Amino acid sequence: MGSGTSLVAKQYRLQQWAVQVRECQNRPADMTVQEWCAAHGLTKADYYYRLRRVREACLEQSEVHEIVPLTPKAATYTADANNRTFSRKQDSLCISTGNCCIQVTQDTSKELLSMVLGVIHNAQ
């Protein structure tokens, strides 16, 4: 029974931390994280620890268990934002997190995708 109680306590704590993270992320634009933390009785280190733990919990709940193959279609050509270079783009899936976008095509190996997702998970 002790481990069940611990699990419930952990989940409750994560829910409280998720609320704090949401509130901090919705703070006024002119307020820094440090100022928000001081106003809410937290250290900046505590906030970032809680943010990391909430993100890890979210990733655990939404882990990809299967990679679905993409069906090939005609390739298209697109220019970058400055119209300087052209690149061939196949049908693809874009996985975005923060300011990072991972372009996955049917040619992307499972090993490479797994490694890149692991790096992103550890970086957050």
The bridge status of strand 93-97 relative to strand 100-104 is antiparallel
For residues 47 and 34, give the distance between their C-alpha atoms in angstroms, rounded to a whole number.
9
Residues 56, 81: one domain?
no
Nearest to 116 by CA among 106, 98, 108: 108
Total domains in the fold of the chain: 2
For residues 48 and 73, give the distance between their C-alpha atoms in angstroms, rounded to a whole number.
43
The model's pTM is 0.49
Nearest to 61 by CA among 114, 115, 15, 107: 15
In a domain, 69, yes or no: no
For residues 90 and 49, give the distance between their C-alpha atoms in angstroms, rounded to a whole number.
39
C-alpha distances in angstroms, 97 versus 27, 72, 100, 102?
21, 25, 5, 9
Residues 10, 51: one domain?
yes
- Indicate if the pLDDT at residue 120 is higher than 90: no
Residues 80, 56: one domain?
no
For 23-79, how does the pLDDT look when each residue is reduced to its tens digit (9 = 90+)? Answer: 999 999 999 999 999 999 999 999 999 999 988 888 777 665 555 565 555 445 555
Neighbouring-strand partners of residue 96: 101
Determine the pLDDT at residue 48.
94
Token digits of residue 11 = 């989940």
Number of neighbouring beta carbons within 10 Å of residue 50? 19
Residue 47: domain span: 2-61
